[in-house]
């Protein structure tokens, strides 16, 4: 028998999918951890589950209590769904720049949504800071209390990847893994997986794939937090060293232009049937760079972060793509004449 006892046990244990074109282009085996197959369709279900379980274990989250979080969307979706399964409500603060599809999903999952203007972290009205203040206020007024998930600086987030993602990758490859690459939102995925893999084999090379507009590429190559440009990708792009990133064993970093990342997303869909979001394009571009650095014959793992329908109105919208000066995949506008 293979039965999962509820949604909680359906999180994780995702397959590793060999990416054909990336592997062929590099002579390496490039594998994608299929996180879009989690119940909430993203890698963030793992962090959401660990954050909730940790808050319960500490006695901070009580039955019927409220989970409050600031999120680009995926963590909120995970928290809302896991919350429903375990008997907690969720209140989610989201920057208004995030895709309509993620906001719709949050509402239908029962989260109370607070949309705020997207402003820098230094601004007191940044979504993360608003969510912290809101959690404090609700803790005092909600009958069963409220907790702040605080995914950026709550290391229960990276613990999820230390205990699950990393060991799964090690077991699935029989320890035959030479490199791991991921982009960073909170840093939980990259840091946690890196810590778990390095503990098993310190020679495994760990790379950060950063979009433009983020400061970490500069930090890990020059020691200075500095950003240039911008990106249409969502859920990634960090400007500071979060608690989850602190001490992460990162060996190298790449900066990936959007044009390169979105072309990879389109190719994965057109040629391999994999429908994924923009951050996956950044990750696979990073995996290709690491493969070229290591040379043929190596095995590199990256993360297929979330499902592409979440970005239909942007990444798969010809008008949006044209406006951003990005390539438009032909099939989005393809039609056929039906004979009378
Ligand atoms: N990709 C997407 C689509 C995400 O939503 C996130 C999380 N914000 C990430 C990648 C990065 O994950 P992490 O927070 O673990 O760095």
Q: What secondary structure does DSSP assign to 227-271, as a single string?
A: --S-----S---SS--TTTTT----EEEEE-HHHHHHHHHHHHHH
Strands 16-18, 29-34: pairing is: antiparallel
Q: Return mean pLDDT, the chain.
A: 97
Give the model's pLDDT for residue 235: 95
Which atom of ligand 1 lies at the shortest distance from residue 279's CA? 1
* Phi-psi sector, 295: left (phi>0), alpha (psi -120 to 50), beta: left
Whose C-alpha lies nearest to ligand 1, atom 2?
A: 235
Q: Which of 34, 41, 44, 162 to mutate to test the pocket of ligand 1 (most atoms within 8 A of CB)?
A: 44
Ligand 1 centre and the CA of 3: distance in Å?
28
**Longest CA–CA separation in the chain, Å:** 69
57 CB neighbour count, 10 Å cutoff: 10
Which residue's CA is the nearest one to ligand 1's atom 8?
Answer: 235
CA distance 183 to 151: 16
pLDDT in tens, 71-127: 989 999 999 999 999 999 999 999 999 999 999 999 999 999 999 999 999 999 999
Q: Which pLDDT does position 22 carry in this prediction?
A: 98
| Ligand 1 geometric centre to CA of 54 (Å) | 20
Strand order in the sheet with 252-256: 16-18, 29-34, 299-304, 179-182, 205-211, 252-256
Which residue among 127, 131, 185, 246 has the greatest number of ligand 1 atoms within 8 angstroms of its CB, and so is best to mutate?
Answer: 185
CA of 23 from ligand 1 middle (Å) equals 24
Residue where the block lists tokens 């379980």: 53
Res. 252 pLDDT band, cuts 50 70 90: very high
The residue-averaged pLDDT of 57-72 equals 96
Q: Check residue 142 and give its pLDDT.
A: 96
What secondary structure letter does DSSP report for 306? B
Specify whether the CB–CB gap between 245 and 184 falls below 8 A. Answer: yes
- Give the whole-angstrom CA distance, residue 189 versus residue 201: 18
Q: Given the residues 44, 102, 103, 198, select the one marked as catalytic.
A: 44
pLDDT in tens, 261-300: 999 999 999 999 999 999 999 999 999 999 999 999 999 9
Would you say the ipTM is above 0.95? yes
Mean predicted confidence (pLDDT) in 212-219: 98
Phi, psi angle pair for 280, to nearest 5°: -65, -35
pLDDT digits (tens, 9 = 90+) for 157-178: 999 999 999 999 999 999 999 9
CA distances to 163, 197, 256, 292 from 157, in Å: 10, 17, 25, 31
């Amino acid at each position: 028998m293979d039965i999962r006892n509820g949604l909680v046990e359906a999180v994780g244990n995702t397959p590793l999918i060999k990416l054909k074109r990336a592997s062929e282009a590099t002579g390496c085996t490039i594998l994608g951890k299929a996180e879009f197959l989690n119940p909430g369709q993203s890698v963030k279900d793992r962090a959401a589950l660990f954050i909730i379980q940790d808050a319960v274990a500490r006695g901070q989250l009580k039955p019927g209590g409220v989970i409050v979080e600031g999120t680009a969307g995926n963590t909120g979706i995970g928290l809302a769904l896991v919350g429903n399964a375990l008997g907690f409500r969720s209140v989610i603060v989201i920057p208004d720049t995030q895709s309509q599809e993620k906001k719709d999903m949050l509402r239908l999952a029962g989260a109370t949504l607070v949309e705020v203007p997207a402003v820098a972290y230094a601004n007191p009205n940044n979504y993360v800071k608003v969510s912290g203040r809101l959690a404090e206020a609700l803790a005092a007024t909600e009958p069963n209390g409220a907790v702040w998930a605080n995914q950026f600086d709550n290391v229960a987030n990276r613990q999820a990847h230390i205990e699950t993602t990393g060991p799964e990758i090690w077991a699935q490859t029989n320890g035959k893994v030479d490199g791991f690459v991921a982009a960073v939102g909170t840093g939980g995925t990259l840091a946690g997986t890196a810590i778990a893999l390095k503990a098993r084999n310190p020679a495994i090379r760990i790379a950060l794939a950063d979009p433009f507009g983020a400061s970490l590429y500069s930090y890990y190559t020059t020691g200075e937090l500095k950003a240039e440009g911008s990106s249409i990708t969502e859920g990634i792009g960090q400007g500071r060293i979060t608690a989850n990133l602190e001490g992460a064993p990162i060996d190298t970093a790449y900066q990936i232009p959007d044009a390169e990342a979105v072309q990879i997303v389109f190719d994965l869909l057109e040629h391999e049937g994999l429908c994924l979001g923009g951050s996956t394009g950044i990750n696979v571009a990073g995996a290709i760079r690491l493969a070229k650095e290591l040379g043929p014959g190596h095995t590199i793992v990256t993360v297929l972060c979330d499902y592409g329908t979440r970005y239909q109105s942007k990444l798969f919208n010809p008008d949006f793509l044209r406006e951003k000066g990005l390539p438009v995949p032909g099939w989005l506008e393809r039609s056929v004449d039906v004979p009378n």
